[in-house]
Amino acid sequence: MVVTATLALVIVIWCVYRMRRYPLAKGLRRLAPVYVPSVLASRPIIRLANRMLLAMPRPEATRLVDEEEGAIDLGDHILNYVIYRPKNASGPLPAMLYMHGGGFFLEAAPYLYGKAMGYSSGAGCIVMVPRYRTSDAHPWPAGEDDCMAALRHLCSLDGVDATRIALGGDSAGACIAATLARRCAKEGIGVCFQLLVYPVLDDSLTSASSLRYRACPVWNTALSRRMWDMYLGGRRGEYVSPLAENDFSCLPPAYIEAARYDSLHDDALSYADRLREAGVEVEFHDVEGACHGYDAMVSCDVARRMLAVRIRALSRAFRIQEEE
């Protein structure tokens, strides 16, 4: 009885402390007490989590989009993907390759496909979500190379306007989007826009927010360190860490969204500043009351509002490109 009461008191104190330390917006407050120890990011646990994620059904396609599954034979492995197209759309359409988050090591959570449908129907574009190889078994550059192959495939599909291609992603997926934008600039592949949601951008983990919010809800600095160690596998190469690059003038316009209570917050801010300094157009949003991965709570007001903001930014980018 005493042990139970003591444990309950500790839990209450922890929750109160965390809610005051991280005053999240309405609908997100239940995330404030969530702290994920980096020990949970072990390969056995990750592989179990990935089996569970792959067993979860994707949300059914809405009445506004058509869904199509496909696969690309890359020789040594098959790259699977899902495509969403606006229903009854005609003519070549703009398209976005969207990379899911999950620390490079997790498969896509089902809600991410719902976001992809929202982008497709809201911006009137084709959205491809590749199932890239995860770093628990395939360190860099496997996932990045898979996404580059997916991009080339997307550009070749019937009904895709290859002059209006965007790269998007959240968290680690946003990192892959940013690295692909740089690879595309070097290889002469036209990309018109980057959509980066609470992005991973710097493996040095030296930003002020990495210290200030090192134990923040859902994601934290220790998890980031574990993520980069697993992703890189002791290797290093071009484009891996977008903030470590020098020339930003070659990159396309960007939408960048940072969550206020996120250890990665300042990386997004620094990336936006570097792009602006290079003369690249940036739309930056600092989402007050949000933490990393907040839009997994899809029904809360701030998640719905920011999804609409992203869709408007994507629509404008495609429209401007068409007018040019």
Contact of 9 with 1, CB cutoff 8 Å: no
Distance between CA atoms of residues 25 and 195, nearest Å: 23
- Helix (H) or strand (E) segment spanning residue 141: none
Nearest to 149 by CA among 207, 79, 224, 198: 79
Helices in the chain by DSSP H: which ranges? 2-21, 43-55, 110-123, 142-156, 172-187, 208-212, 221-232, 265-277, 301-323
Tell me which residues are annotated as active site. Answer: 171, 262, 292
Range of the domain at 264: 2-323
Query: How many CB atoms neighbour CB 46 within 10 A?
Result: 22
Domain count, the chain: 1
| CATH code for position 122 | 3.40.50.1820
Instruction: Tell me the pTM.
Output: 0.95
| Residuewise pLDDT in 10s, the chain (324 residues) | 666 777 877 888 889 899 999 999 999 999 999 999 999 999 999 999 999 999 999 999 888 999 999 999 999 999 999 999 999 888 899 999 999 999 999 999 999 999 999 999 999 999 999 999 999 999 999 999 999 999 999 999 999 999 999 999 999 999 999 999 999 998 888 899 999 999 999 999 999 999 999 999 999 999 999 999 999 987 777 778 899 888 899 999 999 999 999 999 999 999 999 999 999 999 999 999 999 999 999 999 999 999 999 999 999 999 876 665
